[in-house]
Amino acid sequence: MRNLALGFAVLLTASAAGAQQGQPPRLECRDLAKTGNFINSNETYVNGMACKYAEQAPTVQTVAEVQPVHTAQQKALVYFYRPNRFEGSATNPEVYVDGQKAGRLHNGESLSVYVTPGQHVIHSQGNPVNIFVDAKAGETYDVKWDVAVGFLKEKANLSLVNPQDAAAETALITHQNQGGN
């Protein structure tokens, strides 16, 4: 009778543990008489047998949300560049697209970011002016960051540039993060 009660208690405990995990418990039992009458620390005695919980593979209960894949042809490219100039060369401003940091522009460098088609706001650190771009898939938008030196202060200047002028100015620029994001 005592063995039956103990076996029932083990099954109830196993059922409770399995209910918390969302799957029924599984016990692995071995006959004590055939295996040397020894019970391991992770086993319980049930009706002449040594039983333990079987390890179960973890179950995945969350479903990942599927995001649409955007290829480069479905996006627009915003190409930031900074001409190599002595004036303001010690500054390394951050540039932003829709309030998200796209990167830092060092003197004589560029970086590029893919954006989804639609309206985007571009600005930079130290420049109170925003640039609004209505991006179209497959198009490239050249954005120049330059600095004008004033009497006691440098003034950042961010501007949208036509592709021909950008090509001439970027011939000697070091490119970083080409096609990033």
- Taken in order 102, 103, 106, 108, is the CA torsion positive or negative? negative
Q: What is the pLDDT of residue 19?
A: 47
What pLDDT was estimated at residue 181? 46
Each residue's pLDDT, cut to its tens digit, for the chain (181 residues) gives 555 554 555 455 545 444 455 566 677 888 877 777 778 778 887 778 888 877 755 444 444 454 555 566 689 999 888 887 777 666 778 888 998 998 888 888 888 899 999 999 998 887 777 889 999 999 999 998 887 776 666 677 888 888 888 887 877 676 665 444 4
Q: Which of 157, 75, 148 is nearest to 112 (CA)?
A: 75
Query: What number of residues does the chain have?
Result: 181
pLDDT score of 22: 56
For each of the domains in the chain, give its residue range(s) and CATH number, in order of start. 2-15+22-53 (no CATH), 72-180 (2.60.40)
What is the pTM for the complete model shown?
Answer: 0.54
- The Cα 105–Cα 92 span in angstroms is 5
Gap between the Cα atoms of 113 and 176, Å rounded: 10
Cα three-residue angle 41-43-45, rounded to 5 degrees? 120
Left (φ > 0), alpha (ψ -120 to 50) or beta: where does 52 sit?
beta
SS (H, E, C) the chain: CHHHHHHHHHHHHHHHHHHHHCCCCCEEEEECCCCCCCCCCCCEEECCEEEEECCCCCCCCCCCCCCCCCCHHHCEEEEEECCCCCCCCCCCCEEEECCEEEEECCCCEEEEEEECCEEEEEEECCCCCCEEEEECCCCEEEEEEEEEECCCCEEEEEEEECHHHHHHHCCCCEEEEEEEC
Q: Answer whether 146's CB lies under 8 Å from 110's CB.
A: no
Identify the pLDDT of residue 117: 94
